[in-house]
Amino acid sequence: MSRQPLRSAGRPTLDAVARLAGVGRGTASRVLNGSAQVSPQAKAAVEAAIIELGYVPNRAARSLVTQRTDSVALVVSESQERVFGEPFFAGVLRGINAALIETPLQLWLAMAATPEQRRRVEAHLTGQHVDGVLLLSLHDDDPLPGILRARGMPFVLGGRPARPAPEDAFVDVDNVAGARQAVEHLVGLGARRVATVAGPQDMQVGRDRLAGYRAAWDEGRPELIAYGDFTEAGGHAAMRALLEREPRVDAVFAASDLMAAGALRALRAAGRRIPADVALAGFEDADVARQTDPPLTTVHQNVDEMGRRMAALLIDLINRRADVDPHVLLDTHLVRRSST
């Protein structure tokens, strides 16, 4: 005779799960909380019982006991159009999700580009709603890190802040070294008038990539700099401004691949051939770098890994691990393609 499911008329309870699995209630609870102090056999039995009974944990009741919400927030200080339209954000989000998928933590995503959005986000970032926060694409005047510090909320910054508190945790790529490598490559090709389409200077990533350009172009030669906003349109406008200032420019480092794609359009419109007349390099190694004609030489940054490391670091902070290095800097490398 086959065993009949032990479903009750009401909502299945943790006690029912434990009885069906043949374990104590405490063991069933440890399985639900992701504890490692459970044997593989007991874990398998409890998980099978959960499926058979259709048990769903009462998260509100559980949070009263554990003082955890099992939720974390990803707050992006950019518009919805940029978050869902640019490859950088998609890559970081993929990495975060990959790190959280094996945990009980649920991810809450919010954009904080307008004052009203920011007010709603600030009201939600409390211990009653989330256990920790991931912050991405911060600008210098963003008050969120200070607010979270004052609330004692664990948080991790995606990107090195300009003036971090000693305890602030962050994950970033080595933007200075990557930009320097790209510009040194352009100089090594024989370029004598190397320009840069720099990123916003109210963001540390924009300042760091400009610093990398300057570090490789420091022999008393005149700087050729125009500023964009990491978008294709911004790169197009900045390149046009550079050509008006110095028509003889023979190489360009753009601080993002999207800006490099915009710069390429402006150069083509001005009758300049890539790379015969102007060598062009970007930063990120996004899909667009392989889709331009010619494909872009660019600095590779692993944005999926950045997201994974951000999430892993936040989990460590939530669990109050004392041996965690709160400052993570990921390596970059140059990918050479046909634009140089």
pLDDT in the model for residue 165: 74
Residue holding tokens 């009401």? 10
Please choose, from the candidates 278, 229, 227, 272, the residue with its C-alpha nearest in 3D space to the C-alpha of residue 250.
278
In a domain, 339, yes or no: no
Angle at 230 between CA 80 and CA 328, to 5 degrees: 90
pTM of the model: 0.78
% of the chain surpassing 90 pLDDT: 56
Indicate whether 59 pLDDT > 70. Answer: no
Per-residue pLDDT, 1: 41
User: What is the spatial order of strands in the sheet that 106-111 belongs to?
Assistant: 106-111, 71-76, 132-136, 155-158, 169-173, 327-330
Query: Could you give the percent of the chain with pLDDT greater than 70?
Result: 92
pLDDT band at 67 (very low <50, low <70, confident <90, very high): low
Per-residue model confidence (pLDDT) at position 92: 93
Identify whether the C-beta of residue 105 lies closer than 8 Å to the C-beta of residue 71. Answer: yes
Q: Domain range for residue 35?
A: 14-57
Q: Is residue 75 part of a domain?
A: yes
Number of domains in the chain: 3
**Alpha carbon distances (Å) from 212 to 8, 196, 235, 264:** 65, 10, 18, 21
Q: Which of 127-136, 219-228, 252-261 has the highest mean pLDDT?
A: 252-261
In a domain, 8, yes or no: no
- Report, in this order, helix, strand and coil percent for the chain, each rounded to 5: 45, 15, 40
DSSP state, residue 36: S
Residues 284-336 have pLDDT tens digits of 999 999 999 999 999 999 999 999 999 999 999 998 887 888 999 999 999 99
pLDDT at 124: 85
Give the model's pLDDT for residue 220. Answer: 67
Residue 337 near residue 297, CB atoms below 8 Å: yes
Cα-to-chain-centroid distance, residue 126 = 22
**80, 169: one domain:** yes
For position 2, what pLDDT does the model report?
44
φ/ψ bin of 22: left (φ > 0), alpha (ψ from -120 to 50), beta (otherwise): left
Instruction: Give me the CATH number covering residue 315.
Output: 3.40.50.2300
* Mean predicted confidence (pLDDT) in 14-38: 83
CB 157 within 8 A of CB 247: no
Mark whether 105 and 152 lie in a shared domain. Answer: yes
Are 189 and 276 part of one and the same domain?
Answer: yes
Q: Are residues 149 and 293 in the same domain?
A: no
Res 230: pLDDT:
94
Q: Report the SS3 class of residue 8.
A: coil
Q: Which of 15-19, 102-106, 171-175 has the highest mean pLDDT?
A: 171-175
Measured CA to CA, the distance from residue 16 to residue 10 in angstroms comes to 11
Question: Which tens digit of pLDDT belongs to each residue from 321-331?
Answer: 878 889 999 99
- Nearest C-alpha neighbor of 179 from the set 51, 107, 319, 282: 282
- Looking at residue 302, its pLDDT comes to 95
CA distance 107 to 105: 7
One domain, residues 215 and 309: no
In a domain, 101, yes or no: yes
Looking at the chain, list the stretches that DSSP marks H as alpha helix, in order from N- to C-terminal side. 14-21, 25-32, 40-53, 59-66, 80-85, 87-100, 115-124, 144-151, 175-188, 204-216, 232-245, 257-269, 287-291, 303-318
